[in-house]
Structure formats: C-alpha cells, structure tokens
C-alpha cells in the first residue's frame, strides 16, 4: 500500500523540472563571474538528488525499525534535528510572493527574458549574497539598464547572462529589478536558493560610500527579517564561487564581519 501511494505522489525532481522547462531548450553561456559555462540543453540550476533518494532500499527489518529509531532521535534532538539526520527537507514556510517591499525600495522590474530574468520560480531562500558592480562610479539606474539590455541578445545564440534582485546606488537609492519569487543569474551555482544584492561603489577599491552602506544594511536587515534569516546567513559572492566580489569585503575580512554585526543590530 505504501508503494502505491508513493507511486501516485509526484516526483520532486519532476516538479522542479517543469519549473525550468522554459529555459531548458536554449541555455546561454554564462558571462565571466557567473560560474562555469553551461552546455546547450543543460540545466545549471537543477537541484541535486536528496540523500534519501540516493540511498539504496533497506531490508524489511531495517525499514520496520527505522520509524522507531527516527522517533527516538527526534525526541532527543528535537523534531527538526531528527528529520535532518534522516535526510528529509525542512519545511519552508515563507511565501515569497506575499512579501511587500517597503516604500524606500523602488521597484523597476526588467523585462522577462532568457539572459537576465528567466521567469523561473525561486522556491526558497537560504542565503543573501552581497556583490559589487565592478564598474566604478556607475549608478543603480545604469546597472539596471545593463541587465535589461541583455534581453536584446539573440536567444538562439550563446550570450551574456547576469542579473540581481536589488541594486543599491551611490546615493543610497535602492532598486528592485527582479521579484523575490524569481531566480536571478547572479551567484551560480546557488541561484536556486539565494537573493542577490548588487552594490555600486565610487572607486576601484570597491568600498561603499556611507549612504550606500547605510542603505545596504537597512535593506539586508529587512530581508533577513522577512525571510526568517540571520546575519549568519549573509554571504559574499566570493564565498560561492571564489570570485573577488565584493572586492572590498574580500580584501578586508574585518569589515565584512563588521557589516554582519551592523545588520544584526539593525534587525532588532
């Protein structure tokens, strides 16, 4: 009976596959800094199989004993810990579509397209990734135009990909260019469970101006509160791919630690 019910249940990988069917047929080459180049027809965002799917079927007696052992572990370590040990995913309760941006965030969504806004559902958020634009003295509006203009490439040819959910400008302005409920090409191979913030900077050091820094702290603290994350869930692009981004925080670890402390304080 269990096997019959399990057979009727949709496979998790099949559900994930359907969400990505819009971009599976034509896959652009990733631009420098966006991870390795995906091959045509390859889905670079496909989630790995869970441990529970990879494990071989246990003998009958082991199956019978498993629920009792799981119950004991769950009682001792907490239900969530017991599930984690057994390879089950923790439930994600945040509805990304219901989050309303505050008044100080200006929403100017770019066009839906294969290269910078593929219109693919973001199912959950485990980390917030901080980037720098690597284009000195450029404005938030200029960087938004760059990502929007990527839509003009030929979708039948390899092209440049990129994007971000938010851009923080030189004067502290905050633009949201992709909804929280959609993935963006920003932190491969972690695009499927992260929110990305691009930050403008006045010079080659990559250090943010004070108005920019203050807005970044404010935005990140708001996101952490809305997404049920902590300052420990903040990561740099460097932590994902090894890229020197955001440059100032890669070269000044103490300043990165201070930023996380400031976000933690702003969340209260």
Distance of alpha carbon 94 from alpha carbon 40, whole angstroms:
33
pLDDT given for residue 92 in this prediction: 87
Kindly report whether the global pTM for this prediction surpasses the value 0.75: no
Can you give 89-100 as a three-state secondary structure string? Answer: CCCCCCCHHHCC
pLDDT greater than 60 at residue 164 = yes
Q: Is 197 helix (H, G, I), strand (E, B) or coil?
A: strand
The whole-number average pLDDT for the span 31-40 is 39
DSSP of 45-70? TPPPPPHHHHSPPPPHHHHHHHHHHH
**Which percentage of the chain shows pLDDT scores above 90?**
65
The whole-number average pLDDT for the span 242-254 is 98
Q: Find tokens 């040819």 and name the residue.
A: 157
More reliable by pLDDT, 262 or 92: 262
Q: Find tokens 């980390």 and name the residue.
A: 127
Q: In this structure, which long-range contacts are made by residues 99-104, counting pairs with CB atoms below 8 Å and at least 24 apart in sequence?
A: 99/180, 99/226, 99/227, 101/176, 102/222, 104/174, 104/218
For residue range 111-140, what is the model confidence (pLDDT) as tens digits? Answer: 999 999 999 999 999 999 999 999 999 999
pLDDT given for residue 35 in this prediction: 40
CA-closest candidate to residue 107, choices 174, 49, 154: 174
Helices (H), 196-252: 210-227, 237-241, 247-251
From the number of C-beta atoms within 10 Å of its C-beta (0-12, 13-18, 19+), residue 169 rates as buried
pLDDT given for residue 91 in this prediction: 78
pLDDT given for residue 244 in this prediction: 98
Average per-residue pLDDT in the chain?
79
Residue 65's pLDDT band, with cuts at 50, 70 and 90, is: low
Distance of alpha carbon 185 from alpha carbon 31, whole angstroms:
10
């Amino acid at each position: 009976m269990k096997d019959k019910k399990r057979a009727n249940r949709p496979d998790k990988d099949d559900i994930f596959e359907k969400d990505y069917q819009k971009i599976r047929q034509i896959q652009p080459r990733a631009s420098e800094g966006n991870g390795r180049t995906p091959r045509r027809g390859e889905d670079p965002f496909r989630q790995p199989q869970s441990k529970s799917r990879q494990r071989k079927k246990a003998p009958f007696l082991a199956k019978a004993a498993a629920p009792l052992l799981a119950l004991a572990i769950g009682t001792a370590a907490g239900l969530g810990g017991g599930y984690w040990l057994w390879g089950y995913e923790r439930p994600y309760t945040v509805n990304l579509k219901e989050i309303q941006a505050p008044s100080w965030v200006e929403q100017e969504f770019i066009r839906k397209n294969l290269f910078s806004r593929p219109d693919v559902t973001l199912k959950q958020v485990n980390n917030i990734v901080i980037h720098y634009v690597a284009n000195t003295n450029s404005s938030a509006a200029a960087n938004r135009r760059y990502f929007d203009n990527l839509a003009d490439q030929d979708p039948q040819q390899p092209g440049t990909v990129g994007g971000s959910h938010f851009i923080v400008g030189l004067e502290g302005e905050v633009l949201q260019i992709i909804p929280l409920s959609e993935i963006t090409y920003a932190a491969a191979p972690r695009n499927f469970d992260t929110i990305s913030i691009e930050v403008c900077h006045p010079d080659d050091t990559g250090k943010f101006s004070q108005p920019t820094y203050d807005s970044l702290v404010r935005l990140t603290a708001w996101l952490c509160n809305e997404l049920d994350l902590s300052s420990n869930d903040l990561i740099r692009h460097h932590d994902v791919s090894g890229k020197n981004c955001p440059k100032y925080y890669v070269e000044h670890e103490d300043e990165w630690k201070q930023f996380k402390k400031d976000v933690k304080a702003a969340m209260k």
